[in-house]
């Protein structure tokens, strides 16, 4: 399998306001043996984790609905997105981080998560790799209303939906978030419900 030779010549910071946007100039050794100078931008926002909460007995999933500015400016009417619970990693491991995010966003305090895969969501421009999890939840694990943290300016609506309805929402375009679609399809293939 071909592995290109890369020599980074210059790295410029274009923005470090929210996360870091870098402009990289590098030499790239192509398959034909010729060197080519290329320039690319890469957005580094850290890595993240996402989890699909499912209740096998009830046949339901818990998703969240929140405003996403990038989708709004790209034509998503109202900018609201329905998603699986997710968050950026801090200094702790992905499993610990996603359990904390679940409690903050959904109000469920889950003990166990199962990692199912990792994926780059936009490898042409974003450095982030996502750790994908599934976790079974039960009504007894609801410890708060959820909704996110005020200091993070989160205004999250918690949705408990029948699994079949969530799958239909992919087809109707109500669910457009790639990570959520991937986890719902994983649940369908694995026959979790």
For the chain, give every domain's residue range. 6-44, 48-189
**pLDDT at residue 190 is higher than 60:** yes
Please give the structure tokens belonging to residue 86.
């997710």
Q: Which burial class, exposed, middle or buried, applies to 10 when counting CB atoms under 10 A from its CB (0-12, 13-18, 19+)?
A: exposed
Name the pLDDT band for 150 (thresholds 50, 70, 90).
Answer: low
Q: What is the CA radius of gyration of the chain?
A: 19
**Residue 85 to residue 69: CA distance in whole angstroms:** 17
Please give the structure tokens belonging to residue 189.
């293939």
Residue range 33-43: mean pLDDT, rounded: 95
**Residue 74 to residue 14: CA distance in whole angstroms:** 22
CATH superfamily of 48-189: Nucleoside Triphosphate Pyrophosphohydrolase (3.90.79.10)
DSSP state, residue 119: E
CB 152 within 8 A of CB 68: no
Residue range 16-35: mean pLDDT, rounded: 93
Task: Give counts: helices (H), strands (E), the chain.
Answer: 4, 10
pTM: 0.91
CB 126 within 8 A of CB 42: yes
């Amino acid at each position: 399998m071909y592995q290109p030779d890369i020599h980074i010549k210059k790295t410029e910071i274009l923005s470090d306001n929210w996360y870091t946007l870098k402009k990289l100039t590098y030499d790239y050794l192509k398959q034909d043996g010729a060197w080519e100078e290329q320039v690319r931008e890469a957005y580094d926002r850290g890595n993240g984790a996402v989890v699909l909460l499912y209740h096998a007995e009830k046949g339901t999933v818990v998703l969240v609905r929140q405003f996403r500015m990038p989708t709004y400016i790209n034509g998503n009417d109202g900018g609201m997105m329905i998603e699986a619970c997710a968050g950026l990693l801090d200094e702790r491991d992905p499993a610990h981080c996603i359990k904390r995010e679940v409690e903050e966003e959904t109000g469920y305090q889950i003990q166990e998560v199962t990692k199912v895969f990792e994926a780059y969501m936009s490898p042409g421009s974003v450095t982030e790799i996502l750790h994908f999890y599934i976790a079974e939840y039960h009504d007894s694990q609801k410890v708060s209303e959820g909704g996110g943290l005020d200091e993070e300016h989160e205004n999250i609506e918690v949705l408990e939906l029948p699994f079949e309805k969530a799958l239909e929402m992919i087809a109707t375009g109500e669910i457009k978030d790639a990570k959520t679609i991937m986890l719902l399809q994983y649940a369908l293939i694995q026959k979790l419900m």
